[in-house]
């Protein structure tokens, strides 16, 4: 049994999408608990991926390949998880703020969070503060991730935070911001909870936010 989970981890690290899918199914068919498959197989593998990426031994396309394999396995696993187990995964709403059509960095961060076990809701680009407030109300995420690439659209992040305050829900969600012109100082200035200079650190900080 343990062998199979180890194999699952290895295939996940190697980004073998079909093998991961197959091994996940086989594990469940053999009567293994879904939560064990998730924790000891998939998460164990993604931990290795994160470590290797940090050590410059894996690169973005490879990490995303593993993340894709992870997502495929999750689709199989999700119906088998108990409500309590499924609820363990934190939800992140990701969005590019109003006036900005750039989204590759935000999408990358979202994909990597998904790979790390988060449930990610990607709102897309050019979203007004009110639309973001509505999404937070609807999805009740633990984390809201906002992105802007332009110095001209950066202030919209602050406006969105103000809109959340006015709606009385600012305290219900942690806010992470990112984008090339964004800095730690700016994060403090607008009252966000944390700033991630790149996608990998975004995942790290997201984990810290939900566990802290």
Return residues touching other proteins (CB under 8 A): 15, 59-62, 64-65, 67-68, 101, 103-104, 107-108, 111, 125, 180, 183-184, 197-198, 201
**Residue 34 vs 73, nearer CB to other proteins:** 73
Shortest distance, CB of residue 107 to other proteins, whole angstroms? 6
**Residue 82 vs 183, nearer CB to other proteins:** 183
Shortest distance, CB of residue 132 to other proteins, whole angstroms? 19
d(CA 169, CA 182): 24
**Residue 61 vs 168, nearer CB to other proteins:** 61
**Residue 36 vs 57, nearer CB to other proteins:** 57
**Residue 191 vs 197, nearer CB to other proteins:** 197
Burial class (CB in 10 A: 0-12, 13-18, 19+), 2: exposed
d(CA 5, CA 121): 28
Shortest distance, CB of residue 86 to other proteins, whole angstroms? 24
Shortest distance, CB of residue 88 to other proteins, whole angstroms? 25
DSSP secondary structure code for residue 90 in this structure: P
The pair of structure tokens assigned to 6 is 């180890």
Task: Specify the residue for token string 């900080």.
Answer: 205
DSSP string, 144-179: EEEE--STTTTHHHHHHHHHHHHTT-GGGSEEEEE-
Shortest distance, CB of residue 180 to other proteins, whole angstroms? 8
d(CA 143, CA 166): 18
**Residue 90 vs 103, nearer CB to other proteins:** 103
Shortest distance, CB of residue 196 to other proteins, whole angstroms? 9
Contact 174, 133 (CB under 8 A): no
Q: Please list, residue by residue across 67-91, b when 16 or more beta carbons sit within 10 angstroms of its beta carbon and e when fewer do.
A: bbbbeebbebbeebbeeebbeebbb
């Amino acid at each position: 049994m343990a062998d199979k989970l180890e194999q699952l981890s290895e295939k996940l690290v190697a980004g073998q999408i079909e093998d991961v899918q197959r091994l996940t199914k086989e594990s469940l068919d053999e009567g293994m608990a879904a939560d064990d498959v998730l924790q000891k197989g998939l998460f164990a593998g993604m931990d290795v991926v994160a470590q290797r990426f940090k050590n410059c031994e894996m690169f973005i396309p490879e990490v995303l390949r593993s993340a894709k394999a992870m997502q495929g396995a999750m689709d199989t696993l999700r119906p088998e998880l108990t409500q309590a187990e499924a609820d363990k995964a934190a939800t992140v709403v990701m969005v590019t703020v109003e006036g900005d059509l750039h989204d590759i960095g935000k999408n990358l961060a979202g994909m990597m969070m998904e790979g790390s076990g988060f449930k990610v809701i990607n709102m897309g680009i050019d979203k007004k503060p009110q639309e973001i407030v509505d999404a937070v109300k609807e999805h009740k995420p633990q984390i809201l991730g906002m992105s802007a690439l332009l110095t001209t659209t950066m202030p919209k992040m602050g406006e969105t935070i103000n809109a959340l305050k006015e709606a009385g829900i600012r305290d219900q969600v942690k806010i992470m911001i990112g984008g090339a012109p964004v800095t730690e100082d700016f994060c403090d200035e607008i009252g966000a909870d944390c700033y991630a200079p790149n996608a990998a650190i975004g995942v790290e900080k997201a984990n810290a936010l939900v566990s802290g």
